[in-house]
């Protein structure tokens, strides 16, 4: 059946994990996200981080201002809904969670173990020291989004996700069994199977890069900095398991691109930044992965239904159409005035494109 599909119309997706950055960067990232997604969960690891509801509301206004200044068609602008996230720190209070719930625009709270990824220096150092915050989140139905890696220097970077499951996440779930948790950008079969073993209040997002690539793509024949992200690409057997669960039709797994812009010069240097930029062509990337598995019939639920249902939000009513027509990924986009932004698979061709 998959081989005969030339056009695929699906419910408009949401992106349950995206980095838009801030200020000048928004002129590039916001229009790119808006063209494919209605709701986007906006990561709070800015400089400085989004730690309070007031800061989240101000950040949302900056996003919408950038959208208003863009040349995106008004019907798309009107559907775009940035959903905000608070950055969990050692000083976050239970009262702040109540404020977040009352705001109507804060969707979740993000746990970054200190030092785990880009701009995570303010992350949590004592997980169980946040018990009052987790209890308040349970009470108000605010999900916890987790970057699932330990940061101990003596733990191999390829093992950090599994150790986080054993040392941290299992403890959080045991102590707060009713807390909604999203295991973000999972990268291993360990994480996939862990998620499957939990109750329905634990779900997971999967990125396009972790479905399409493994560490060989990043390392064989020379280091390729635009494949470098955190959590890092893993072995092929982990990639295979992610493909299996993503295309299984299990509602625990849904779209989260983790699209993360970095100026090209910061990626292509001696200590390149972690992050893959995929927002403009995320849907063709996911379609490619699902087609390889003979599972295009499962794509709509993964991209457009399961995430909304997990968050208790209505499924979108608008649609978007993918066509079996080559998309040439641009070599770069203008970014931050005189700089450029290099997307994932820059200069290459994808078999699917979004009908404009």
Residue set of the binding site:
17, 19-21, 45, 110, 147, 185, 230, 258, 262, 274
Instruction: Judge if the upstream peptide bond of residue 231 is cis by omega within 30 degrees of 0.
Output: yes
Q: Where is the binding site for substrate, in residues?
A: 19-21, 45, 147, 230, 262, 274
Q: Where is the binding site for Zn(2+), in residues?
A: 17, 19, 110, 147, 185, 258
Which residue in the list 14, 15, 190, 258 is annotated as catalytic? 258
Catalytic, 68? Answer no
Active site residues: 258
């Amino acid at each position: 059946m998959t081989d005969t599909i030339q056009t695929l119309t699906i419910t408009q997706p949401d992106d349950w994990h995206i980095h838009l950055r801030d200020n000048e960067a928004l002129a590039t990232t916001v229009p790119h996200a808006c063209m494919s997604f209605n709701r986007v969960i906006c990561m709070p690891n800015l400089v400085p981080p989004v730690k309070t509801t007031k800061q989240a509301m101000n950040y949302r206004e900056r996003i919408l201002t950038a959208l208003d200044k863009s040349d995106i068609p008004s019907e798309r602008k009107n559907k775009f809904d940035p959903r905000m996230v608070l950055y969990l720190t050692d000083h976050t209070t239970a009262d702040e969670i109540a404020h977040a719930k009352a705001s109507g625009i804060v969707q979740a709270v993000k746990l970054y173990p200190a030092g785990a990824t880009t701009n995570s220096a303010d992350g949590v150092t004592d997980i169980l020291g946040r018990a009052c915050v987790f209890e308040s989140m349970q009470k108000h139905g605010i999900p916890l989004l987790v970057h699932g890696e330990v940061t101990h220097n003596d733990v191999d970077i390829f093992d950090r996700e599994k150790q986080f499951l054993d040392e941290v996440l299992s403890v959080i779930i045991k102590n707060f069994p009713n807390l909604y948790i999203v295991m973000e950008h999972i990268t291993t079969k360990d994480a996939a199977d862990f998620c499957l073993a939990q109750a329905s209040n634990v779900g997971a997002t999967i990125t396009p890069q972790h479905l399409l690539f493994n560490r060989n793509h990043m390392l064989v024949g020379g280091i390729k900095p635009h494949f470098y992200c955190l959590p890092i690409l893993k072995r092929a057997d982990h990639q295979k398991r992610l493909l299996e669960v993503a295309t299984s039709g299990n509602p625990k797994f849904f779209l989260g691109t983790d699209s993360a812009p970095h100026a090209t010069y910061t990626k292509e240097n001696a200590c390149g930044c972690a992050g893959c930029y995929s927002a403009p062509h995320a849907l063709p990337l996911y379609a490619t992965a699902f087609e390889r598995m003979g599972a295009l019939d499962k794509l709509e639920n993964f991209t457009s239904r399961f995430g909304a249902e997990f968050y208790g939000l209505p499924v979108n009513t608008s649609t978007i159409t993918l066509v079996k027509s080559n998309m040439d990924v641009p070599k770069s986009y203008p970014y931050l005035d005189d700089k450029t932004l290099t997307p994932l698979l820059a200069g290459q061709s994808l078999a699917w494109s979004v009908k404009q």
